[in-house]
Amino acid sequence: MAKRGYHHGNLRQALVEAALDLIEARGPTGFSLSEASKQAGVTPAAVYRHFEGREDLIAEAALQGYEIFADVMQRAFDDGKPSALAAFEATGRAYLAFARRYPGHYIAMFESGISVNRTPQLAAASAHARGILEQAAYNLSLYLPADKRPPSSMFSAHILALSHGVVELYARNSPGTASQYPPEDLLETGIGIYLRGLGLLDADT
């Protein structure tokens, strides 16, 4: 992997990018701050002007990941409009697309053990990203009778859990797991089954 290196005036971001490379290659606990500084092309002492420790560095990577994730989800949601169904299904696919395109960020967000409540900024970025899927779920749920309408937070949580499971088991080459079906197909059919169960798709759709 090519070394990105330090650019004057952007040391903090250079360290985040170095950490993302290392997270992707070794996992969130597989590197030290000194290795991140070497990857960024600076001295280890320079790291501590920006981050107190490795977890702070990973938390910043997660924060940036949630911001990118929200943008990806918002574009998917907007592209599906005006159809509530198309917008909702697009946000589910966007989760898988994000995990594929931004693996370092994905790991920092979901596999590092860093709590989204570590900082107010991280909590807000996480809530914003989740809120886009909740809005898509809410818009779609309006097609159901009020007494059969699940809370949008529960609705979206089910789809996030399904998406996360497909990513972790079948899109990130987890040891001992394999499927004869592409992850995209697994996710698409899983969402379809869920929506049929709610009565939002015809049985023969």
The model's confidence at residue 202, banded by pLDDT at 50, 70 and 90, is low
* pLDDT value for 49: 83
Residue 201: band (very low, low, confident or very high) from pLDDT cuts 50, 70, 90:
confident
Pick the CATH number of 58-198 from 1.10.357.10, 1.10.10.10, 3.30.1490.20, 3.40.50.300: 1.10.357.10
User: What is the Cα–Cα distance from 26 to 30, expressed in whole angstroms?
Assistant: 5
| Per-residue pLDDT at 204 | 39
Portions of the chain given CATH number 1.10.10.60 = 1-51
Measured at the CA of 116, the angle between CA 40 and CA 155, to 5 degrees, comes to: 130
Residues of the chain with CATH 1.10.357.10: 58-198
Number of other residues whose CB lies within 10 A of the CB of residue 10: 12
* E-strand stretches of the chain: none
- Whether residue 29 has pLDDT greater than 60: yes
Apex 159 CA angle, 55 and 169, nearest 5: 60
Q: What is the mean pLDDT of the chain?
A: 87
Residues in the chain: 205
pLDDT digits over 118-155, tens only? 999 999 999 999 999 999 999 999 999 999 899 999 99
**In the structure, what pLDDT confidence band is assigned to residue 48 with cuts at 50, 70 and 90?**
confident
Confidence of residue 199 (pLDDT cuts 50, 70, 90): confident
Whose CA is closest to 91, among 168, 155, 180? Answer: 155
Is the pLDDT score of 176 beyond 80? no
The whole-number pLDDT of residue 66 equals 97
Pair of tokens at residue 122: 């991280």
The 3 state secondary structure assigned to 143-204 is CCCHHHCCCHHHHHHHHHHHHHHHHHHHHCCCCCCCCCCCHHHHHHHHHHHHHHHHCCCCCC
Superfamily of domain 1-51: Homeodomain-like (1.10.10.60)
Q: Write down the residue that tokens 């898988």 correspond to.
A: 96
Average pLDDT over residues 78-102: 90
The single residue listed with the structure tokens 């198309």 is: 86
